[in-house]
Amino acid sequence: MDYNLIVPAFIALAALITIAKAIVIVPQNTALLVERLGKYHSTLTAGMQFVLPYIDRIAYRVSLKESAIDIPSQAAITKDNISLTIDGVLYIKVMEPYKASYGIDNYKYAVIQLAQTSMRSELGKLDLDKTFEERDSLNAKIISAINQASAAWGVQVMRYEIKDINPPGSVLDAMEKQMRAEREKRAAILDSEGKRQAAINMAEGNRQATVLAAEAQQQSTLLAAEAEKQQQVLKAEGEAQSIELVAAARAKALTLIGEAAATPQGKAAVQLDLATEAIAAKKAIARESTVVLMDNDKSNTGNTVAEALGVIAAIQKSGNFN
């Protein structure tokens, strides 16, 4: 065996191994803490990094990603002495790898324990009803309490969410009865409110209908009165025009009679007309009445005829009636 070839090969192999140990590839969102001769030396971030082989040692590998930690179920007592079983989930992120590695032995376990104690402490300040109503406020208070204590560990709590809150069975039954009574009360209130509103609407509708009917009746009465008034006015105007026409005709007749009576022939005609009307009037009285009181001499038919003939003879004698 040629020892002259073995030694160089061994040296080359040792050199390759040394170079390989000197180069360190750090993944993204990961931090490597390097110790040199047992003492912290540096923190390697993402990328290709170099260390001294056989002197430097990667003591801790810390993930810088946000991680979720499940908080186990635990018992807690509220302000009104109700025992609850509660659990949650915690989202944390390492902000300072050095503190997370050298500040505490196991930061995840420490954060879990701190979250549980903070949860019990905050629940002890609230009544049972408030624990369901103020989850967001409770989560914020727990986060604030954890961050105050974990600042020395280089860990920051990003979010905390309560998953389940489980009261005892008796409390659940009481809460169910309370909720049922509350729902029944709301239903009764809504039903009565609906009936009241319906009665109001019906009364308002009846009132409006009555008002509209009264207005329609009033309008109808006004229209009828107006129509009757118009009819009476037209009738009065017609009667007035008729009276005016009759008066005008009578006046014209009287004028004509007067003009005719001014002549001898007119006077004779007037006398003849008066005699004729007198005879006709006596006949009418005798026909319509069973008893007629008249002068004996004038009630005689012969005298009546004689009077008429005398009138005619006088007219003829006067020579005015030709």
Q: What is the pTM of this model?
A: 0.51
For residue 174, being part of any structural domain is answered with no
Among 136, 167, 198, where does a domain finish?
167
* CATH code, domain carrying 133: 3.30.479.30
List the pLDDT tens digit at each of the 322 positions of the chain.
Answer: 556 677 777 788 878 888 888 888 889 989 999 999 889 999 898 888 888 888 888 999 999 999 999 988 888 888 888 888 888 899 999 999 999 999 888 889 999 998 888 888 888 888 887 887 788 888 888 888 888 888 888 999 899 888 888 887 777 677 777 778 888 888 889 888 888 888 898 888 888 888 888 888 888 888 888 888 888 888 888 888 888 887 787 777 767 776 766 676 666 666 666 667 667 766 666 666 555 445 545 445 555 555 655 655 555 555 544 4
Does 220 map to a domain? no
Residues 118 and 93 in one domain: yes
User: Could you tell me the residue range of the domain that residue 49 belongs to?
Assistant: 3-63
In a domain, residue 135? The reply is yes
Residues 72 and 155 both lie in one domain: yes
Q: Determine phi and psi for 80, rounding to 5 degrees.
A: -95, 25
Do the Cβ atoms of 103 and 152 come closer than 8 Å? yes
Residue 175: is it exposed, middle or buried by C-beta count within 10 angstroms (0-12/13-18/19+)? Answer: middle
Contacts of 92 (CB under 8 A, 6+ apart): 66, 67, 69, 108, 111, 150, 155, 156, 157, 158
**What domain count does the chain have?**
3
- Any domain includes 172: no
> Helix, strand, or coil here: 95?
coil
The candidate with the shortest Cα–Cα distance to 103, out of 51, 68, 60, is 60
- Radius of gyration (Cα) for the chain, nearest Å? 67
- Answer with the one of 134, 167, 200 that is the final residue of a domain: 167
Tell which of 144, 167, 190 closes a domain.
Answer: 167
* Together in a domain, 7 and 54: yes
DSSP states of 135-183: HHHHHHHHHHHHHHHHGGGTEEEEEEEEEEEE--HHHHHHHHHHHHHHH
Whether residue 52 is contained in a domain is answered as: yes
